[in-house]
Amino acid sequence: MYRETDIVQDTSIEGDLIINVGPQHPSTHGVLHLVITLNGETIKKIEPHLGYIHRSIEKMCESLSYRQFIYVTSKMDYLSSHINNHGCALCIENGLQIEVPPRAQAIRVLMDELTRMASHQLWWGANAMDIGALTPFFHAFREREMINDIFEETCGTRLTMNYMVPGGVMADLHPNFQKRVKEFIPHFKSKIVEYDELLTDNIIFQNRTKGIGIISKEDAISYGCTGPVARGSGVYCDVRKLNPYEIYSQLKFDEIIETGGDCFARYMVRMREMKQSLSIIEQLIDVIPEGDFQAKTKAVLKLPKGEFYSQIETARGEFGVYIVSEGGTTPYRIKFRSPGFSNLSALDFMARGSKIGDLIAIMGSLDLVIPDIDR
């Protein structure tokens, strides 16, 4: 429920300073505009202004066929494009009752987990850079480059892969895939120890993040936070565990929960998640089933009349695809529930009362991807 201080919208009190962060600011990692009301150095209110990269993807999808619109979703959360494609493919398969072959399921899970690691690595470097440590950025990109090379071999591109299609994946794995991933696993295992030595155990970094931007469990649920942001506050919300898709129910991994609710807790969730993703890949890489990589589907897909919703866990949280179909070849209405949009709405609540210098640390811990928020 609203507290009295929250309802106050008129902030033109004498002595308050209003400053703009963005739209072009190095720590927003995109075009996000924040209007911040300050009293001295203390943040009184943050008002996000969105839409600088709004492309109206939902409206666009209404005139694209079920095979076409998946490619547009790669451009939303460009760091989890595999998982975005996967979410849309799941929703269509759900509507058409398509059985995905076991090989395709294993490939999808492998790609999702590689994406999650690549995304967390980029976040790790960028978050450290925001706070003032430049070195981690280069370490993170070294490992991310290896994953991108693996993607490039199999999918042909490095960022917006468009690899998952309704019924399976677009092409079979490259012959080098298993070899390359097996090279990457021990390499990253040795490097993640370095990550901890370099940043996690660093006392300056801990002082900058511990006790900053606290959000309680109840507030995180009320704000609709998902992913590492909610799990840092002790909310069980991993879709892979709660509502398992593909072969996740057969795999052994832990849902990472921290209870601090501050920037450091969110940081630790992502660091530990990378190790879990690595363990999932280790379990799967030697036992990829043989067989088809794509189910046989019709050339033109037509979803039956009705409403379909699919959930999937991206690197940032729960991504939802809601399709309303009238039985035609294009969706009648489509809604993307993006994790960043809800996580951003909690920013004002988290940052109120902290110092302006901490704002960048809080924003970094949310791991915002702006095209995902604007859509």
Partner 1 sequence: MTKEDLKIKLIELFPQFTTEIPSATIDESGTWLKMNISKEDFLNVVTQLKTNLSFHFDFLFCLTCIDWKTHLTMVYHFTSTTHRQPLVLQITLDREHPEIETVSSIWRTAEFHEREVYEMFGVNFLHHPDLRLLILPDGWENKRPMLKDFEDPINMIKL
Q: What is the contact surface with partner 1 in residues (CB under 8 A)?
A: 1-2, 6-7, 9, 50-51, 54, 56, 58-59, 63-64, 94, 218-219, 221-224, 226, 235-237, 242, 306-307, 309, 318, 320, 322, 324, 332-333, 335, 337, 341-342, 344-345, 349, 374
Q: Which is nearer to partner 1, 133 or 221 (CB)?
A: 221
Classify the C-alpha dihedral 90-151-227-350 as positive or negative.
Answer: negative
Q: Which is nearer to partner 1, 152 or 219 (CB)?
A: 219
Half-sphere exposure of residue 272: CA atoms within 13 angstroms, side-chain side: 15
Distance of CA 153 to the CA centre of its chain: 23
Q: How far is the CB of 365 from partner 1 (least distance, A)?
A: 18
Q: How far is the CB of 221 from partner 1 (least distance, A)?
A: 5
In 3D space, the residue among 261, 130, 255 whose CA is nearest the CA of residue 199 turns out to be 130
Q: How far apart are CA 117 and CA 110, in angstroms?
A: 11
Q: Which is nearer to partner 1, 57 or 79 (CB)?
A: 57
Q: How far is the CB of 79 from partner 1 (least distance, A)?
A: 21
Q: How far is the CB of 220 from partner 1 (least distance, A)?
A: 10
Q: How far is the CB of 320 from partner 1 (least distance, A)?
A: 5
In 3D space, the residue among 361, 266, 322 whose CA is nearest the CA of residue 62 turns out to be 322
Q: How far apart are CA 17 and CA 38, in angstroms?
A: 5
Q: How far is the CB of 238 from partner 1 (least distance, A)?
A: 12
Q: Which is nearer to partner 1, 1 or 287 (CB)?
A: 1
Q: Which is nearer to partner 1, 141 or 332 (CB)?
A: 332
Q: How far is the CB of 260 from partner 1 (least distance, A)?
A: 19
Q: Cβ–Cβ contacts within 10 Å for residue 64, how many?
A: 17
Q: How far is the CB of 373 from partner 1 (least distance, A)?
A: 9
Q: Which is nearer to partner 1, 117 or 363 (CB)?
A: 363
What tokens does 306 get? 């009705």
Half-sphere exposure of residue 213: CA atoms within 13 angstroms, side-chain side: 30
Decide if 330 contacts 99 (C-beta within 8 A). no
The string of DSSP codes covering 114-166 is HHHHHHHHHHHHHHHHHHT--HHHHHHHHHHHHHHHHHHHHHS-SS----EET
Classify the C-alpha dihedral 38-39-40-42 as positive or negative.
Answer: negative
Q: Which is nearer to partner 1, 117 or 350 (CB)?
A: 350
Identify the three-state secondary structure at position 104: helix
**Which uninterrupted H or E stretch holds 34?**
strand 33-39
Q: Which is nearer to partner 1, 180 or 217 (CB)?
A: 217
H-state helical runs in the chain: 4-7, 57-61, 69-73, 81-96, 102-131, 135-155, 177-195, 203-209, 217-222, 227-231, 239-242, 263-285, 339-345, 347-351, 356-366, 370-374
Q: How far is the CB of 269 from partner 1 (least distance, A)?
A: 17
Q: Which is nearer to partner 1, 51 or 289 (CB)?
A: 51
Q: Which is nearer to partner 1, 210 or 302 (CB)?
A: 302
Q: Could you identify the residue written with the tokens 């601090």? A: 260
Q: How far apart are CA 336 and CA 60, in angstroms?
A: 12
Q: How far is the CB of 152 from partner 1 (least distance, A)?
A: 31
Burial letters 326-337, b for 16+ CB under 10 A, else e: eeeebbeebebb
